[in-house]
Amino acid sequence: MDDGECLMSICSVLSQLRQAYLVVDLNDWQPVLLNQEACLLLCENLDSLNHSKLWHNTLLPVLKQADKAHDSVFFHQQTLFQLYLSKVEEDGCEYLAASITKAAPSKEQLHNLFSLLDNLGAYVYCKDTQYNYSFVNRQVCELFSALPEQIIGRNDRAFFGEESGLRLIRESDHFVIEQGQVIEKEEVNFIPHLNEYRHYLTVKKPLFDDSGQITGLFGISTDITELKRTQQQLFESEQQLSTILDNVGAYIFIKDRNCCFRYINKKTEELFQRNSAEVVGLNNLELLGEEQAAEFDRTDVQVFESGQRIDCLETFQLEDEVRYYWTVKIPLCSDQGDVERYIGISTDITEQKRLENELRESNKCLEQQLEEIGRLKDELHIQATHDALTGLYNRRFLEEHAELAFTDSQRGSASILMVDVDHFKQVNDTLGHQLGDEILQLLARVMIDECRTNDLVCRYGGEEFLILLPNADADVAYQKAEWIRKAYEIEVARHFPQAGGSSISIGVAASPKHGQDFIKVYQAADEALYQAKALGRNRTVRATNG
């Protein structure tokens, strides 16, 4: 028998068997037979198998490996298959015959499977085409407070009530069993013996027999009632928090490490003139432009780099004005301590800044006014105490302070010089009052230059002057008077030669020789001045003994 006849003989025998068989030529590892039972089992024929992923990715590797162990398993279309292998040799030809059967789980495997389903933490069940339960795990039994045999063969109307049971059939089970759809949805069922509604996340898939006909459904439902309650509580908390943040009167926002907005409250929406959905996900540059973004980026980066709270003054340019905001940026840390986001709270202080600027300007104006008042006060004081023409103290100031000089000088001497410009009326009449005023100003400068800082020089009236010398006796006073008289004579000749050698006369008196108080010493000095005039002027005369 040649090779072809040998192969035909093997194929003829295996084709008549009711078991599924696959025959492979071991010379080239190519499938040469897939009998009818095998075609139905694998949903392939010989031609399609030879080019399929099932052959190249699954069967061929399994067969080559199994050739050494004589049997193996493989997984196809969510089904576990068992391979039993036999080698056939005929006239030098070698073939591998593989019997294919669905792998039946052992008792131990079934026990482990049911144990797994009972401890899955979800409600696992199967239903037949009449929507009656055909399998339930322990959690379903606990939900219905019934044994498996009390549940199997009954449908949801018996456990959820007529209305709820029909709704479950109509809204989900019907589509799975009648149309073969896979349902993934959230269900709400009323549990009579608990007297409450429970929420379930449910997945339901159709079950098929070997011929592809739907025989029922398989379902897994997870009780998410507590999750829903937690979500509702979280939602309500978020709503309450959002309501608070929207009415807090501040601009509140959250940014991530990329400086992108993750949250803004209602007031911030109004500022940006965009709703939250338009802003969330944008960074400073995308939302505000380059110049404004640079200001915000600087402090944003500081928060993430330092991990510390940042307090800062920020500005925001609107179309017609600049707004000022006092902003607090607080880092939000992850469980690992990394700063992932920060929350910002900004308060509009534009009005406060305006008031501060107005107050600053008002204070500046007030300071200027106070300076002006001080200046005017000083001027008034000077006007009240000084002679306008010469700048010397006036008679009023002298009379208010002269007695004090004599009181302080009781342990020593105080002197008075009475000075008068000779023939001053003639100078005025001849040369004019302007020149006369200038001569008086010259005399004032001479007296100031020749006197000490604590000497009191004043214009006593007209062309008459008085010099009060504290702690100076009559001899010192006389010498001072002569210095003044001679200095005036020199200066007036140099500056006003047209004055014809203008001169002064001086009378000198001192305490205690001529009296203990200002009045008596003044009277003595005035009498001495009168004598100087009488003796021919341009001289200094001491008062006679008191």
Dihedral sign for Cα 491, 495, 499, 501, please.
Answer: positive
CATH architecture under which domain 395-542 falls: 2-Layer Sandwich (3.30)
Residue 78 pLDDT greater than 80, yes or no: no
Residue 1 pLDDT greater than 60, yes or no: no
> Do 250-352 and 108-227 have the same topology in CATH?
yes
Residues contacting residue 131 through CB under 8 Å, at least 6 positions apart: 155, 156, 169, 173, 177
The closest of 312, 354, 352 to 330, measured between CA atoms, is 312
Residue 304's identity, in one-letter code, is: F
The pLDDT-based confidence of 528 (bands split at 50, 70, 90) is very high
Residue with tokens 């001899």: 475
Surface-to-core class of residue 401, CB atoms within 10 Å of its CB (0-12 exposed, 13-18 middle, 19+ buried): middle
Residue with tokens 């501040």: 250
C-alpha–C-alpha distance, residues 222 and 225, integer Å: 9
The pLDDT > 90 percentage for the chain reads: 43
Q: Tell me: the pLDDT tens digits for 134-175? A: 999 999 999 889 999 999 999 999 988 888 889 889 999 999
CATH, domain range 108-227: 3.30.450.20
- Under 8 Å between Cβ of 222 and 123: yes
C-alpha–C-alpha distance, residues 162 and 300, integer Å: 61
C-alpha–C-alpha distance, residues 377 and 58, integer Å: 112
The pTM is what?
Answer: 0.44
Over 201-256, what HEC string results?
EEEEEEEECCCCCEEEEEEEEEECHHHHHHHHHHHHHHHHHHHHHHCCCCEEEEEE
C-alpha–C-alpha distance, residues 310 and 303, integer Å: 6
What DSSP state is assigned to residue 393? B
319-338 mean pLDDT: 88
307-313 mean pLDDT: 91
Mean pLDDT of the chain: 88
Q: Tell me: the pLDDT tens digits for 477-507? A: 999 999 999 999 999 999 999 987 899 999 9
Q: Give the lowest-confidence range in 58-67, 239-248, 305-314, 375-384.
A: 239-248
CATH architecture under which domain 250-352 falls: 2-Layer Sandwich (3.30)
pLDDT at 81: 85
pLDDT at 309: 93
User: Cis omega (within 30 of 0) on the bond before 148?
Assistant: no
The pLDDT-based confidence of 440 (bands split at 50, 70, 90) is very high
The pLDDT-based confidence of 114 (bands split at 50, 70, 90) is confident
Higher pLDDT, 113 or 525: 525
The pLDDT-based confidence of 523 (bands split at 50, 70, 90) is very high
Residue 92 pLDDT greater than 80, yes or no: no
What DSSP state is assigned to residue 349? -
Residue 342 pLDDT greater than 60, yes or no: yes
pLDDT at 68: 56
Q: What is the DSSP string of 482-541?
A: HHHHHHHHHHHHHH-GGG-S--EEEEEEETTTT-SSHHHHHHHHHHHHHHHHHTTSSSEE
Token representation of residue 163: 């209305």
Residue 433 pLDDT greater than 80, yes or no: yes
The closest of 205, 226, 223, 222 to 214, measured between CA atoms, is 205
pLDDT at 72: 81
C-alpha–C-alpha distance, residues 462 and 390, integer Å: 11
Q: Give the lowest-confidence range in 216-220, 344-348, 375-379.
A: 375-379
Fold type of domain 3-102: Beta-Lactamase (3.30.450)
Q: Tell me: the pLDDT tens digits for 183-208? A: 998 888 887 777 888 888 999 999 99
pLDDT at 311: 92
Higher pLDDT, 262 or 68: 262
Residue 513's identity, in one-letter code, is: K
Helical (H) or strand (E) element with 341: strand 339-348
Residue 519 pLDDT greater than 90, yes or no: yes
Token representation of residue 188: 């709400």
Q: Where are the domains of the chain?
A: 3-102, 108-227, 250-352, 395-542
The pLDDT-based confidence of 7 (bands split at 50, 70, 90) is low
Residue 2 pLDDT greater than 70, yes or no: no
The pLDDT-based confidence of 228 (bands split at 50, 70, 90) is confident
The pLDDT-based confidence of 378 (bands split at 50, 70, 90) is confident
Surface-to-core class of residue 346, CB atoms within 10 Å of its CB (0-12 exposed, 13-18 middle, 19+ buried): buried
